[in-house]
Amino acid sequence: MKRMLKYAGIISLLFIGMAASFQPENKYFEILKNIEIFTNLYKEINTYYVDEVDPGHLMRTGIDAMMGSLDPFTNYISESEIEGYRFMTEGKYNGIGAISQKMGDFVTITELYKDQAADKAGLRPGDQIIAVDGQDATGKDPDAINNILRGFPGTSVELTIRRPGRAGDFNIQLVRGEVQVPNVPYHGMLGEDIGYVALTTFTREAGSNVANAVRELKEQNPGLKGVIFDLRGNGGGLLNEAVNVCNVFIPRGELVVTTKGKVKDWDRSFSTMNQPVDLDIPLTVLINKNSASASEIVSGVIQDYDRGVLIGQRSYGKGLVQNTRDIGYNSKLKLTTAKYYIPSGRCIQSVKYEEGEPIHIPDDQRTPFKTRNGRTVLDGGGVKPDMMIDKFTDAAIVRGLLEQHLIFDYVTQFCLKHDSISPVEAFRFEDYADFVQFLENRQFDYDTESEKLLKKLVEESTEEGYELDAQINALEAKIDADKKDALMDNKAVIIDLIEKEIASRYYYQEGKIKMGLRNDAEIEEAVKLLREKNEYQALLNG
């Protein structure tokens, strides 16, 4: 053993000596030098630091800091996070089939997948997880709880639940299973002539599922005048599925995307390989600021080939390709290896990020490119829709209600009083006064941008010795009055959010989508445009 260590030491010294003989700027020497420094640093901390150190936690902190210095999409995936990674790529994972979020001190169930373990066991949205297998869950992060809930199919986990409207905590035994989440959760008709298809993620078979949905709409509705393809909130997924989804609407053999990175041998071009489902039916694609990556490839390709009209808000701006590398012990590194370029030649990657969010780039700082019909499109910072529509949830009062989970809490109370509701098509929430009373009982308040500025004015005027009490009091009174009016000014928007939350409780994800279609401004614009052939064609012709 000593002889082996001796030989290993000699080899290491020779290797380091050879590296040191290179020019100082040689990056391999720099790599070896810094790895040795890192190893020595880690050893000294582990040996001499005043308190006991958790090696795994310390190393993860270092890894996360290293990843944080790169782009927001290069990540380390530990063994405990593999199920989450599998869900992002395959649309399935081993677990209980529930979505959760931390509210207050406890992780709370917010949504259930129909007929999965959590649903069958009787869990409900609003249930708080007090303990997992007898271990206190107070203050735990949702990711930590989810890592426990995920596991091999057939194994069991016991949750201690606190349910609104029920006295005392109780235990539920769940058996983990393979949870499959459909990437096309809903498709159907809006009226008699407009089809609708929602795609929530680019997991396996996304292309074939979209193709089947469009094919079914055509076969069952001979009078079909157009299709709305909804990519709002779709954060992307598999690159090959983005190509397959494009192929539903564009011909075989058309270029979809080209990837270019440091390793030139990895540069590739991806073209459609199958026969399309339809090349002619009018098409609108809905996107928003949370449409990213594969969603931007598809929407950008549709725009570049003038195959359809984009409606909504500018997309996220993620024009980067990630690959995963196995790094041992069932962990992976997901790292950016290339940028992608869509048919017009543009890359939609945002140049800069701030706290993980892309920074807006003015249009005059973007490079222009041309679509097939000669329309001007711009690179950098996402895909800009052909028809821009402001998003209603920017209202301060709506943000306040969502951030404080008050719509969620109100609907939890609503469900305690109603065992069932009418079908989605017929249901209407008509007791807005009850919701307003609920907010008063909860002493709901929220900060507007004006209040934030006013607080700053008070601080600075006090420091500088100005007497502005009368003016400030008048402004505060005006803001308070406007905040009270805001509940009525935004009544339609708030009722829409309440109705969608109610529908999700009784009819799951499909119900929420169907309810949302009813009061959706972007859907209304898309339907109107698809029925106006001249206006639709004029947009595509520039």
Domain count, the chain: 4
In a domain, 17, yes or no: yes
Q: How far, in whole angstroms, is CA 510 from its chain's centroid? A: 18
Number of H helices, E strands in the chain: 17, 23
Q: Strand, coil or helix: what is 494?
A: helix
Looking at the structure, tell me whether residues 261 and 302 fall in a common domain: yes
Can you give the pLDDT of all 542 residues of the chain as single tens digits? Answer: 444 434 444 444 444 444 444 445 577 888 888 889 888 888 888 888 888 888 888 888 888 888 888 877 788 877 666 666 555 556 567 889 999 999 999 999 999 999 999 999 999 999 999 999 999 999 998 888 988 888 888 999 999 999 999 999 999 999 999 888 899 999 999 999 999 999 999 999 999 999 999 999 999 999 999 999 999 999 998 999 999 999 999 999 999 999 998 888 888 999 999 999 999 999 999 999 999 999 999 999 999 999 999 999 999 988 887 778 888 878 888 888 888 999 999 998 876 666 656 777 788 888 899 999 999 999 888 899 999 998 756 688 998 999 999 999 999 999 999 999 999 999 999 999 999 999 999 998 877 766 677 677 777 777 777 777 777 777 777 767 777 788 999 999 999 999 999 999 999 999 999 999 988 989 999 999 999 999 999 999 97
Closest C-alpha to 523, from 297, 284, 302, 295: 284
Q: Are residues 299 and 201 in the same domain?
A: yes
Tell whether 106 and 208 lie within a shared domain.
no
Closest Cα to residue 510, out of 97, 200, 127, 117?
A: 200
Quick one: tokens of 473? 């009091």
Asked if 195 and 267 sit in the same domain, the reply is yes
Verify that 242 and 260 share a domain, yes or no: yes
285, part of any domain: yes
The per-residue b/e assignment along 88-111, b for 16 or more CB within 10 angstroms, e otherwise, is: beebebbbbbbebeebeebbbbbb
State the angle between helix axes of 406-417 and 491-518 in degrees (0 to 180), rounded to the nearest 10. Answer: 70
What is the domain range of residue 504?
394-446+490-521
263 within some domain: yes
Q: Coil, strand or helix: which one is 189?
A: strand
Which residues, in sequence order, are CB contacts of 164 under 8 Å at separation 6+? 126, 412, 413, 416
Give residue for tokens 């199958």.
Answer: 274
Instruction: For residue 188, give the 3-state DSSP assignment.
Output: strand
> Do 221 and 164 share a structural domain?
no
Handedness of CA 77, 82, 83, 89 (dihedral sign): positive
Together in a domain, 130 and 221:
no
Same domain? For 119 and 27 the reply is no
Q: Are residues 270 and 382 in the same domain?
A: yes
**What span, in angstroms and rounded, lies between the C-alpha atoms of 5 and 8?**
5
Q: Are residues 169 and 20 in the same domain?
A: no
Q: Name the token pair of 403.
A: 């951030």
Annotated catalytic sites, by residue?
A: 293, 304, 318
Q: Are residues 201 and 240 in the same domain?
A: yes
Residue 267's CB is within 10 A of a number of other CB atoms, namely: 12
- Torsion over CA of 56, 59, 61 and 63, rounded to 10 degrees? -130
